[in-house]
Amino acid sequence: MAETIAFIGLGNMGGPMAANLVKGGHCVTGFDLSAEACAKAKEAGASIVGSVIEAVNGADIVITMLPAGKHVLSVWNEILPSIKVGALVIDCSTIDVESARKAHDLASAQNRQLASLDAPVSGGVGGAAAGTLTFMCGGSGEAFARAEPILNLMGKRIVHCGDNGAGQAAKICNNMILGISMIGVAEAFVLAEKLGLSHQALFDVASTASGQCWSLTTYCPVPGPVPTSPANNGYKPGFAAALMLKDLKLAQDAANASGATTPLGAEAAQLYSLFANAGHASEDFSGIINFLRGEGKG
Ligand code: NAD
């Protein structure tokens, strides 16, 4: 059944996600502050309107894909009183767990039977365009069941992680593993270079031994062993260092707020902050290997 879907935030991720909903046969009304983002979404078949309020008018489902928690809370505050009774509101942005929980609370405080879901994604711009994202969802079982067929048009793996905020919690825990593991793999290659061990030899051993991990086998930070990794393409992202830093900071905020001890997560956030501030924010995050070698400093 074709649904009326409002899509707010039509940037690098939201644009192609909205396009996949149009391809899936749904009626998508979009809004973004950027005229360029709106023009691209219009080309892909979405109807573009002049405000967030117009976008949600009559929508069965509302999706937000915005930069950070403050944008999500501000937009949700504005739209919730105008949303159709009984509608489903999904936030796919990567935001802090506390703001995600506040957004759910705002929705239920309306007393208008709104269902809400936090559903951040992994898979990047390529996954958004191909419709192969992973969605990590937090919210009630009913909200998840209702969202699943829609999320399936934009992703290949849709996981219900638990109650309100659990999707954001899963996202930042996963990306903390990723940031730490990339630094670990990069350090191993830097040490191997000093010891006269070839990149290929380290890869051949570690990729099938106990050092095996995604940062090595899919996203190898040196050119050669994995031809599709950004290292073979001048460290063009991929997944930009600025976004890795954002997620590592969210993980540290959550660790501080919850009292979790995450010393390697803190160190990874510190290293990515130095890397990004040294002018590498828009490079792929695997480029940290050059920084660790000392090539990227200053
Ligand atoms: P982006 O900057 O390309 O898009 C965000 C869009 O939100 C922009 O077009 C901006 O104009 C719009 N916007 C901001 N405030 C608005 C408002 N009040 N009303 C309407 N539109 C507004 O960012 P992106 O890369 O699409 O990322 C979106 C979210 O997805 C972020 O939370 C990011 O962390 C997350 N994410 C990004 C990637 C990635 O690889 N780019 C991967 C996973 C998750």
Do both 66 and 211 map to the same domain?
A: no
Per the structure, the complete domain to which residue 28 belongs is given by 4-164
Task: Indicate which atom in ligand 1 lies nearest the CA of residue 120.
Answer: 44
Do both 146 and 222 map to the same domain?
A: no
Among candidate residues 41, 30, 28, the one with its CA nearest the CA of residue 8: 30
Expressed in angstroms and rounded, the spacing between residue 200 Cα and the centre of ligand 1 is: 37
197 domain residue, yes or no: yes
Ligand 1 neighbourhood includes 237 CB (under 6 angstroms): no
Of 137, 164, 191, which one is at a domain's C-terminal end?
164
End-to-end CA distance of the chain: 56
CATH code (residue 238): 1.10.1040.10
Task: List, as own/partner pairs, every contact residues 227-231 make where C-beta atoms lie below 8 angstroms and the sequence separation is at least 24, other chains included.
Answer: 229/286, 230/284, 230/286, 230/287, 231/284, 231/286, 231/287, 231/289
Phi-psi region of 95 (alpha: psi -120 to 50; beta: other; left: phi over 0): beta
* Residue 23 neighbours by CB distance under 10 Å: 14
CA distance 174 to 19: 27
Ligand 1 neighbourhood includes 147 CB (under 6 angstroms): no
Tell me which residue has tokens 């540290």: 252
Do both 134 and 220 map to the same domain?
A: no
Biggest CA pair distance of the chain: 66
Block mean pLDDT (10 aa), the chain, length 298: 95 97 98 98 98 98 98 98 97 97 98 97 93 98 98 98 98 98 98 98 98 97 97 95 98 97 98 98 98 74
Do both 129 and 190 map to the same domain?
A: no
Ligand 1 neighbourhood includes 227 CB (under 6 angstroms): no
Number of domains in the chain: 2
Expressed in angstroms and rounded, the spacing between residue 163 Cα and the centre of ligand 1 is: 24
pLDDT of residue 1: 81
Do both 228 and 148 map to the same domain?
A: no
Residue 139, token pair as written in the block: 């919210």
pLDDT of residue 298: 42
Task: Indicate which atom in ligand 1 lies nearest the CA of residue 247.
Answer: 34
Task: With residue 84 as reference, give the H or E element that holds it.
Answer: none
Ligand 1 neighbourhood includes 138 CB (under 6 angstroms): no
CATH code (residue 28): 3.40.50.720
297 domain residue, yes or no: no
Using an 8 Å Cβ cutoff, are 156 and 132 in contact? yes
Among candidate residues 174, 192, 97, the one with its CA nearest the CA of residue 138: 97
Do both 36 and 149 map to the same domain?
A: yes
Expressed in angstroms and rounded, the spacing between residue 4 Cα and the centre of ligand 1 is: 22
- What residues are paired with 155 via a beta bridge? 133
ipTM: 0.99
